[in-house]
Structure 1
Amino acid sequence: MSTTEWHADDIVKIVSAESSDLAVKIEGDAPFGRHTTYRVGGHATCAVEVSSVAELLIIGNAATSCGAPLAVLGRGSNTLVSDSGWHGVVVTLGPFSDWIKADTAGLATGADLTIEVGGAVAMPVLSRRMASIGVTGLEWMVGVPGSIGGAVRMNAGGHGAELSDAIVDADIVDLHQGQQERWHVDRLELGFRSSALDNHHVVLSARVKGAMSDPDLVSTRVDDIVRWRREHQPGGQNCGSVFVNPVPQEVSAGALIDELGLRGFRIGSAEVSTKHANFIQADSNGHADDVYAVMKSIRRQVFDATGYDLRSEVRLFGFDDVVAGGHAGDTV
């Protein structure tokens, strides 16, 4: 069965045959775009929230059998869905992957520890939870709206730090192989906003490093980061940074866009933020295709003026052409 021939009912039939004792509920013609931080875009052919690894493997097998593309949706950041929707299966991880374990009993100030965290946990939640018990090293996560799973997939970062600085390993489900493995940080091949993970890899959990400190000091640093982001980055309907810095630590995408005077550049219901040039804002009740059009125009203008071919940080679903290559910005 080709990727264009399958239907939601095909997924349902396979899942029903394999999971008579599991309560897997599949929603057809499911809202997708509105569950992203852009809050624009169309539906997916079907969507399901899984409550166990067993259910995840069943859904993965059904999608593979039908030739259906599958994507795991975390907190919906760094994601843009076309207005026409996406012919694929959207999976979200249920509470079984939303947990944090940090044993600080008996640890003195300065002592190292390893925190275990589920893939569905929001990074700001982890940051604040650790601050409340005096664990330092993850303060930067408070300003990143994604999940831990998404952070591993793209080596998320901010404020001079990134996940590769803290991660020890991650538990990964390979939906093609139907198995779960623990990947050491070296195997993850974390680069600037990239990793060795593909769409058939699902991050169940990760182990990250921290150190004991004073809760008040850590909480103050967290609050400082939140304050800085509010002052320098826009709120509203956006997905965070749109383009990867072409030369990390040296050439930023935002600076290149700024040099061309593109703050406020608008197409339809989308515009380059006037607060930060590497953010694209969508109007309330706006259109994903307008956001995409702004992305394409910016990329073309920057390339024509500077020779830098900007790579998208955004995962793009349902668009016919590709804004930019690279793992973080693949069109699905």
Structure 2
Amino acid sequence: MTNSETTLSKLLAESEFNQECKELLSSLPKDKSFFAEYLYQYEGFWYPPNLLEGVLYSQKHFQARDSDIIVVSSPKSGTTWLKALVFALIYRQDYQTPLESHPLLDNNPHTLVPFVEGFNFHTQDTSPGIFSTHIPLGSLPESIKDSPCKLVYCCRNPKDAFVSLWHFMKRLALKEMAGCTMEEMVRGFCRGSSVYGPFWDHALEYWKESRENPGKVLFVMYEEMREQPREWVKRIAEFLECSFTKEEIDNGVLEDIIKLCSLENLSKLEVNQKGKLVNGMETKAFFREGEIGGWRDTLTPLLAEEIDKTTEEKLIGSSFRFFC
């Protein structure tokens, strides 16, 4: 199941862009960025050029199968955890003793579940195939939109998502982050100039789709899943048409999966403490506490208020609310 090259390493590595991408970049709005020299706006959302190239590639080449499962989120909104859970759910019959012998014990979840906007999704030949993406709904490959494949979207409070992104980017120590203040990054985040941003538009698109097409998209709140993992893992399994049997529940399979995939357990594994992706990125960068409301330890009241104000403006006319 393991890919020799992780998608994230490909996405974050420098690359020589093809001619089509170069021509497109020259025509797109751009904004100074702390993630790359510039972010480029494409179909209403912002990308570093290497990620945009991946989006364009996926739009041309990704062919979804009816049985495929796509794990979706904005960056730093529970992606790693949800990847692990969905992988463990789907392949639980293959690994009857998850806590003793399981691919997640030796592989980072990003290795097992490749990104749609990556360049190695062709290696996923199992059925069902499990993929992940940060691509906004409107920019998904047409094959995903047109097929009955299922999407599980994980949404997180924007303040916690921002803080998680801040710490993640600082850990990567990108040269663009040198001298970047949190105030500057909050302003960029609030105006939508963030990787795969605007954050609020991203969530609202998938939330609306989940209401209009509930058989296609399941919308999951990160905070609710943290507080009620048993309930939500069962709900995800039911949505993916692999519900737990009474025998599995009685035998502790559900609890085993929750324990195996918990952020607390995953973060302690050697592969996630000392492992590296092929570009040298340390796998431990993907794990922090993941606590609800952890933003209070990082954001000043004024910065939190700035994000809250943007959230209030973005949600005008919608009944959707983020978990507080």
TM-score, normalised to structure 2's length? Answer: 0.24
Which protein is richer in strand relative to its size? 1
Q: Normalising by structure 1, what TM-score?
A: 0.24
Which structure has the larger Rg?
A: 1
With a CA cutoff of 8 Å and minimum separation of 6, indicate the structure with the bigger relative contact order. 2
